[in-house]
Amino acid sequence: MLVTTGSFPFVRPRRLRQAEFLRSMVRETRLVPQQLIQPLFVAEGALKGPISSMPGVVRLDLEELAREAVELHKLGIGCIALFPVIPPSLKNDEGTEALNPNGLVPRAIAAVKKACPEIAVMVDIALDPYTTHGHDGLLDKNGLVDNDETVEILRRQALVYARAGADIVAPSDMMDGRVGQIRQVLERDGYKNVVILSYAAKYASAFYGPFRDAVGTASALKGDKRNYQMDPANTDEAMREVELDIAEGADIVMVKPGMPYLDIIRRVKDRFEVPVAAYQVSGEYAMLRAAIANGWLDEKKALMEALLCFRRAGADMILTYYAKQAAQWLKESAQ
């Protein structure tokens, strides 16, 4: 019940909003660079360069990648996520290049670790960058992704990346049982400290388009991924997926996409009380950039509000293509 004195309110919440020192003292949610993860695309030769559907994002070669890792570390960002862009000549239906110990990702891990040993390297575990059909796994005779055959390849891929020096392996494929198989092989071969960040609740979203342009899978993709990625209409299913991945040994669970799925982030955090990651995906980034370019949004205000909302919803860490810029703004505001 509102307590009043005469005709005026006795309780005035606005008192704590009238000055910055008050707003700062009662602020419930905070954002720091250490909570940001910068996704980076790595390529070689003619495949490097700008990505038209993601203004400001470029495919980096190994030397550029190493320099970028150093810069990000200086800004306080503790982790990068690598995504390879593979030439068509190295792709096949089975995605065998994913198992090459001298492939692009193992060499990228080595380049980063040589230049900046302190920064953590996270790598995707999935086959879509390596397959001619653009799917995250092997196809059966009916054109559907074969879960069990795919898991066998994924566990071997995770081991290749762990041997190359990856700190975090991130299965993004949405195959059933893959976290348990990856954890088992990592433990068996002496990589028990390699973290598994599972894309536990990954939805079959329309917001991935620019990413598929970036890694060169958009034109190759046959059909869609709705028979293994989650239905955007479902929330209880996400809880089951997360629960299974935690039971199988996931250390961190991810919700993807980000902003349209803040309710899922909140539910996961409240129920499981484990580290939760959110991914501000390529489509979210592209929308922000388009609105900013048209003068409809203030870049800094809109971006920092969006990232803060991920944190408020329960995300402990955020993958965002804006990580470097956000870290620069945070550093400036702290000075």
Query: What tens digit of pLDDT does each residue of 252-286 get?
Result: 999 999 999 999 999 999 999 999 999 999 999 99
What pLDDT score does 215 carry?
85
Q: Which residues contact 329 (CB under 8 A, 6 or more apart)?
A: 300, 304
β-strand partners of 59: 41, 49
Digit-by-digit pLDDT tens for the chain (335 residues) are: 555 555 667 888 888 899 988 888 988 889 999 999 999 999 999 999 999 999 999 999 999 999 999 999 999 999 999 999 999 999 999 999 999 999 999 999 999 999 999 999 999 999 999 999 888 889 998 888 899 999 999 999 999 999 999 999 999 999 999 999 999 999 999 999 999 999 999 999 999 988 888 887 777 777 788 888 999 999 999 999 999 999 999 999 999 999 999 999 999 999 999 999 999 999 999 999 999 999 999 999 999 999 999 999 999 999 999 999 999 999 998 87
Report yes or no on 80 lying in a domain: yes
Residue 180's CATH number: 3.20.20.70
Answer whether residue 136 is part of any domain. Answer: yes
For residue 122, being part of any structural domain is answered with: yes
For residue 256, which of 229, 274, 220 has the smallest C-alpha distance? 229
Q: How far apart are CA 131 and CA 136, in angstroms?
A: 8
Per-residue confidence (pLDDT) for residue 4, from 0 to 100: 55
| Beta-carbon contacts of residue 334 (< 8 Å; ≥ 6 apart) | none
CA distance 335 to 331: 7
The C-alpha atoms of residue 216 and residue 187 are separated, in whole angstroms, by 33
Catalytic residue among 113, 225, 256, 324: 256
In a domain, 6, yes or no: no
Any domain includes 11: no
Specify whether 202 is catalytic.
yes
Give the DSSP H or E segment for 199.
strand 195-202
Residue 129 lies in a domain: yes
Cα 58 from Cα 321, distance rounded (Å)? 10
Q: What range defines the domain where residue 160 resides?
A: 31-334
pLDDT of residue 2: 54
Cβ contacts of residue 276 below 8 Å, gap of 6+? Answer: 252, 253, 254, 255, 265, 268, 269, 314, 315, 316, 317
Instruction: List the structure tokens of 211.
Output: 């990413």
pLDDT, position 7: 61
pLDDT of 11 reads 85
* Residue 140 DSSP label: -
Residue type for 41, please?
A: F
Task: Give the DSSP H or E segment for 180.
Answer: helix 178-188
Domain assignment of residue 200, yes or no: yes
Q: Is 241 annotated as a binding residue?
A: yes
Count of structural domains within the chain: 1
Supply the DSSP symbol for 146: -
User: One of 113, 202, 225, 324 is an active-site residue; which one?
Assistant: 202
pLDDT at 161: 98
Residue 302 identity (one-letter amino acid) = A
pLDDT at 3: 56
DSSP for 35-46?
A: GEEEEEEE--GG
256 included as an active-site residue: yes
Whether 21 maps to a domain, the answer reads no
Residue 79 CB neighbours (<10 A) = 22
8 Å CB contact between 311 and 31: yes
